Copies of this chain bind each other. A is one copy, B any other.
Amino acid sequence: MIVRDFHELKTGPRAVSDAQWTSVRMLLADDGMGFSFHITTLAAGSTHTFHYKHHFESVYCISGRGAITDLATGETHEIRPGVMYALNLHDHHTLRADEELVMACCFNPPVTGTEVHRADGSYAPAEELAPADG
């Protein structure tokens, strides 16, 4: 059994940040669960465009307010606590945080921890990456 505490991990190497978001990797590929699980915090007033061409991702809103736009259809959905979106079509999307958003995210295949967002908003598929550093 693995037991981890977000509040301990958020100041350590499992917290990956850029200026506008922090993702705490609660589970990564090397945990052997077949998915990764992240708690991601997006700064109030920020917008993010992602396109996970090689991953499925589900995102559940724990706290905060915002919106997600499906860039294929132009449709926008309100994000508030209890709303989940799932990128079952590897959907190209823009997430807007009107308030700070705290989101519970699952990735399949699991993120290894070494990915960076590429210019096209994707993460590389796992076979293009070095082994996970945890």
Spell out A's residues near B (CB within 8 Å).
Answer: 1-7, 26-27, 31-35, 37, 39, 56, 58, 60, 62, 68, 70, 77, 82-89, 91, 93, 104, 106, 108-109
Is the CB–CB distance between A83 and B3 below 8 Å? yes
Residue contacts A-B, CB under 8 angstroms, 21 given: A1-B87, A1-B88, A2-B85, A3-B83, A6-B60, A6-B84, A7-B82, A26-B58, A26-B84, A27-B58, A27-B86, A31-B88, A32-B88, A33-B108, A34-B35, A35-B58, A37-B106, A39-B82, A60-B104, A62-B62, A108-B108
A27 neighbours in B (Cβ, 8 Å): 58, 84, 86
Q: In the docked arrangement, what's the CA distance between A4 and B82, Å?
A: 8
A2 neighbours in B (Cβ, 8 Å): 84-86, 88
Q: In the docked arrangement, what's the CA distance between A127 and B57, Å?
A: 25
A4's partner among B4, B31, B39, B84 (CB-CB below 8 A) is B84
Most buried by B among A27, A77, A87: A27
Q: In the docked arrangement, what's the CA distance between A84 and B83, Å?
A: 20
- Given contacts A1-B85, A5-B83, could you give 12 more A-B pairs where the C-beta distance is less than 8 Å? A1-B68, A1-B91, A3-B86, A5-B82, A6-B83, A26-B60, A26-B84, A33-B86, A34-B34, A34-B108, A35-B58, A104-B104
